[in-house]
Structures are given as structure tokens and as C-alpha cells.
Amino acid sequence: MPKAGIAYGPRITAPDYDQIAQDAKKQVLKDLGLERADDLIVFKARPDNLVVKAAEILQQADAELAAYVGDRDRALAHLWFYEHRIGLAKTAGLTAVGYRQAIARLLFGDKNRPLPTGSSNEELAKAGREHKVQRIKDAEKELLEAAPIVFAARTRRDIAVRYMQEAVLALSQEPYGWSPDRIAEHAGVPRDVVYKQRRTARQRHGM
């Protein structure tokens, strides 16, 4: 929220995250080979194929997150401490809490640490220097490039992981009856991931 005593630069126009989310969902369904979101539920998709495709989507999404989250967060921190822009949460596709956590994680490695504050532009900039916040040339441009990629990757990941959970659950039951080891080997993921996904799916279905 804007604070008294601080002069803010113009609000940065946010990308159309609603459209990005819709496009991400369509892409996931296409990559999974599904025509509709409920195709797995009505068993129009084979879970042994689906679990592999879902794992591939997760791997790609994780790679994009690893590549771009840092760029997004460094740009956010620069704009918070040095250029003093408002509306950064919306610009980044985050909640008000989420964007503060992103900056705190960058500064302290702990998303729950409170951010340094100041009652003037100069005090905020000083706090940024004291916490070694990197100055980013063209930070607005970098934020607008990185944030939509991160948002899309996280959206694809959130959607795909649910399908993976359902596929893992289906494979662990009859007529498949696969063990977690077999599912993990088939999907190319660690065994503990399979256990976690199966547990989450079971809880969702009240099992």
C-alpha cells in the first residue's frame, strides 16, 4: 500500500493475467492430450500415458521458474526500494502478500521476514543499499518480461500436478495396481514424489 511521505512513480500496467491463465490451461490440456478438463475423471485418458506427460509439463515449468523467478524478484525489489512504484503486486501477477514474500525471500531467504521500511524515498533507497538490493537497469521492462513467464509456468504447473495426482492414484488402484516404485520409474520422477502425489489425491477423494 502507498505510504505517506513517499513519492511514487507511475503505476505499471499489468499484463492480462486472466488471459495468460486461460492460455496456460489450454496448453496443459493440449500437452496432456485431453480435449476437456474432465477427460481423466471419466477415464477417457490412460493414466499410464498421462502421468508421463504431466511429469514432463512439471519439469518444463520448474525449469522456467528456476530461470525467471530471480529476474522477476530482483526487478520487484529494485522498483520497491529505488523507483518506488505502486501496484507492483498486480503488475507481477501476485497477491499483496505474495509480492512482499517474493522480495523478502530474495533479501533474506525467508519469505516471512518483514520488509525494511522507510518514511521517505531516501530512507527506502538507503534500506535497499544496506540490504544489498541490486539496482536493475530497465527494471520495469525486466519485470514485464519475467513476471508473465513465471505466472504462466506456475499456472501450468498447478494444473498439471493435479492431473498427475489423479493419474498416480488411478495407477495405484485396480485394474493397474502399480507400486510407487513402478510409477516413479515409468514417470521418471523420484519415488517420494509419487508418494506425495498419491497421498494428496487420496485426501482429495476422502480416502
> Mean pLDDT of all residues in the chain?
91
Q: Do the beta carbons of residue 20 and residue 151 sit within 8 Å?
A: yes
pLDDT per residue as tens digits for the range 33-86 = 887 666 555 445 689 999 999 999 999 999 999 999 999 999 999 999 999 888
Confidence of residue 156 (pLDDT cuts 50, 70, 90): very high
**Interaxial angle between packed helices 47-78 and 180-187, expressed in degrees from 0 to 180 and rounded to the nearest 10:** 70
Q: What is the pLDDT of residue 10?
A: 87
What pLDDT, on the 0 to 100 scale, is given for residue 43?
47
Angle subtended by helix axes 47-78 and 139-172, to nearest 10: 160
What is the pTM for the complete model shown? Answer: 0.90
Which pLDDT score, from 0 to 100, does residue 116 have?
Answer: 86
The single-letter code of the amino acid at 118 is G
Average confidence (pLDDT) over 99-105: 95
Whether 146 has a pLDDT exceeding 60, the answer reads yes
